Structure 1
């Protein structure tokens, strides 16, 4: 969804299409047929400024306050990873704010994959930043998770990553 101001003249990192996406989701929510939002990928683009997180949270509040707002592990630097890339983020600050603002039912930031059920759907949220090849910890977890799904109760399984 990103973030964007109606007047972007003072914004340093704008995602112009994000207002349209947020409005479209809000309109869809008015139908009463939305139970959950999955926000997968980059979150907030705070670029080292906590106030940007506050701004982003304000923008998603009309949506996130009405339905489950689930996130996938952000592509941004996880907490304390000391990224080798030169970025405006402070070597892991994105992970600290993300972990505080978006607690998900995962084992932790080092194992951010999880699954939930909503109605007749079993959602699996995987991390594309962690190994997921055969015999990896995430793969083994996913195998166990899939084997535990009662397909007569939850016939739909959706993988998100």
Structure 2
């Protein structure tokens, strides 16, 4: 690798490390060490082909997705993590609700299987279409749809508190509609 390519690679890593690590953290269910390994593996593969890569960000992300797929296809015994029951909401509006929500989402994602977590991260965090996810993961659009549906259902059952604000809003809307119909 010539010095100019080396400098371009170093600049890319410096600029994108945090974003790639956030994605890897979601893909691995919050395991910081596995997330760092995932990013490093993807960057090592990119380094070997650096001169031939037109879109480094896309290439590294695709390597991360595919490596994650390989990990959940290994069929090694998997023990599901168990967690204590989450405490009830205290109703205090101290500005921490966004942080609490991020923590709850992260904990709920960590309780999904790697395949389910990957599908949800690609669809909703990466904002990829079903077709794009299918292409990135090498599966059919139908598989993406069904796995995403099952993953969301499991996420809702594992963390019902995540759906509470949406349900409360829809209940309020229904109540307002009913009141409007009677007046």
Is the shorter-chain TM-score for this pair beyond 0.5, marking a shared fold? no
Give 1 or 2: higher strand fraction: 1
Structure exhibiting the larger radius of gyration computed from Cα positions: 2
